[in-house]
Amino acid sequence: METIVEDARVGVVSPELVVDALFACRKTAAIRAAIELDLFTHINEGKTAASLASATSASERGVRILCDYLVVHGFLTKESGQYRMTPSTRMFLDRNSPAYMGAAVEFTAAPEILDNFLRDPAAVVRNGGSSGLANVSADNPVWLKFARGMGSFTGLSAKMLAGEISGWPRPPKKVLDIAAGPGVFGIEIAKAFPTAEIVAVDWAAVLALSRQNAEKAGVAHRYQTIAGSAFDVEWGTGYDLVLLPNFLHHFDLPTCAQLLRKIIASLAEHGRIVAVDFVPNEDGVSPPFPAAFSWEMLASTPAGQAYTQSELTEMARLAGLAGVTVKSMPPTPASVILFE
């Protein structure tokens, strides 16, 4: 169906985009089923529906229909009844690949996340945000799913951020990682700066996982945690670096500025605040992922969105800062935001 997308863009009238959107949930269901059955890993060098069914303890009819659907949507190829992965599927959905992203489905298709979107999406638009606190309620268990599932989405940007900071004239010694999630941002900094001490803030259930990841990375002896809301907890002072990875987009601009003021009060001399976030262009409709991300926040939070550079500048000024420097991090859809 995807080829029709091009036609629609060059002006040919077609219902394909509409049909794709009307049925799009089926695609999420299919990829979730395939990931949960670890179908892609089992396909390896090519398998029939019968052998895949046996490998995954599933019905052959079910596997054949799912695999055919995945062929239609470009995830697999099929020849003489044999299914094979595409190069992209092999890279991102085979569990043996270092770039495996399959775990993300636990968060992106979590029942509570889908409910944010599908319960009453028109009400979200009427209301200008989620009706309740949704994802930003205290101790929301969805953040453990985020921490478990989304490390593969944020891992590369965490490495790139550590690379960026490695070029700074003053290596950070005391680092605060706010809303640490899987912990990858703080952990990459700890790996890049062998004497840096990391303090991670997040909900208690999430921090149990961040600590595990710090242990795996061999930096647990320099890794402390503080459980609670970033708006409420006392995290002390003297930070050379405060990280805000994928956090600001959950709140309205004045709330973000208020948090920045709290952070500024805890900085050491020459301390820096660095956010990682999705920054749409000023047109609000490019690049695709950052621009689409505000819809993610509209449904999932009362007042969050992806902020443009000019909005981030306004946020910085409201907090008493001079402004921001934004650097995109291709191939990731994220940007580094350096508060000045």
Kindly tell me which residue out of 296, 311, 312, 314 binds its own copies, with binding defined by CB under 8 A: 296
147 binds its own copies (CB under 8 A): no
Minimum distance from residue 152 beta carbon to its own copies (Å): 9
Q: Which is nearer to its own copies, 99 or 204 (CB)?
A: 99
Token pair listed for 204: 């208690």
> How many degrees, rounded to 5, is the angle at CA 82 between CA 77 and CA 87?
35
Site for its own copies, residues 51 to 110, rule: CB under 8 A: 56-66, 68-69, 71-75, 78, 86-89, 91-93, 99, 101, 104-105, 108-109
25 binds its own copies (CB under 8 A): yes
Q: Which is nearer to its own copies, 118 or 133 (CB)?
A: 118
Burial of 249 from C-beta contacts in 10 A (0-12 / 13-18 / 19+): buried
Site for its own copies, residues 125 to 144, rule: CB under 8 A: 125-129
Cα(289)–Cα(334) distance, rounded to whole angstroms?
9
C-beta separation of 148 from 175 below 8 A: no
Cis peptide before 245 (omega within 30 of 0): no
Kindly tell me which residue out of 299, 312, 336, 338 binds its own copies, with binding defined by CB under 8 A: 299
48-51: long-range contacts (C-beta < 8 A, 24 or more apart)?
A: 48/81, 48/82, 48/83, 49/81, 49/83
Q: Which is nearer to its own copies, 84 or 262 (CB)?
A: 84
Kindly tell me which residue out of 305, 312, 316, 338 binds its own copies, with binding defined by CB under 8 A: 305
Site for its own copies, residues 38 to 57, rule: CB under 8 A: 56-57
> How many degrees, rounded to 5, is the angle at CA 134 between CA 130 and CA 139?
160
146 binds its own copies (CB under 8 A): no
Kindly tell me which residue out of 137, 171, 242, 294 binds its own copies, with binding defined by CB under 8 A: 294
Q: How many residues bind its own copies (CB under 8 A)?
A: 91
Furthest CA-CA distance within the chain: 67
284 binds its own copies (CB under 8 A): yes
210 binds its own copies (CB under 8 A): no
Site for its own copies, residues 228 to 247, rule: CB under 8 A: none
111 binds its own copies (CB under 8 A): yes
Q: Which is nearer to its own copies, 8 or 233 (CB)?
A: 8
C-beta separation of 275 from 337 below 8 A: yes
C-beta separation of 36 from 29 below 8 A: no
Kindly tell me which residue out of 192, 253, 292, 321 binds its own copies, with binding defined by CB under 8 A: 292
Kindly tell me which residue out of 50, 133, 204, 285 binds its own copies, with binding defined by CB under 8 A: 285
Cα(33)–Cα(13) distance, rounded to whole angstroms?
33
Q: Which is nearer to its own copies, 129 or 245 (CB)?
A: 129
Site for its own copies, residues 3 to 22, rule: CB under 8 A: 5-6, 8-9, 11-22
Q: Which is nearer to its own copies, 249 or 272 (CB)?
A: 249
Burial of 60 from C-beta contacts in 10 A (0-12 / 13-18 / 19+): middle
Minimum distance from residue 121 beta carbon to its own copies (Å): 4
Helix (H) or strand (E) holding 53: helix 49-56
**Residue 146 Rama label (left phi>0; alpha psi -120 to 50; beta):** alpha
Minimum distance from residue 100 beta carbon to its own copies (Å): 10
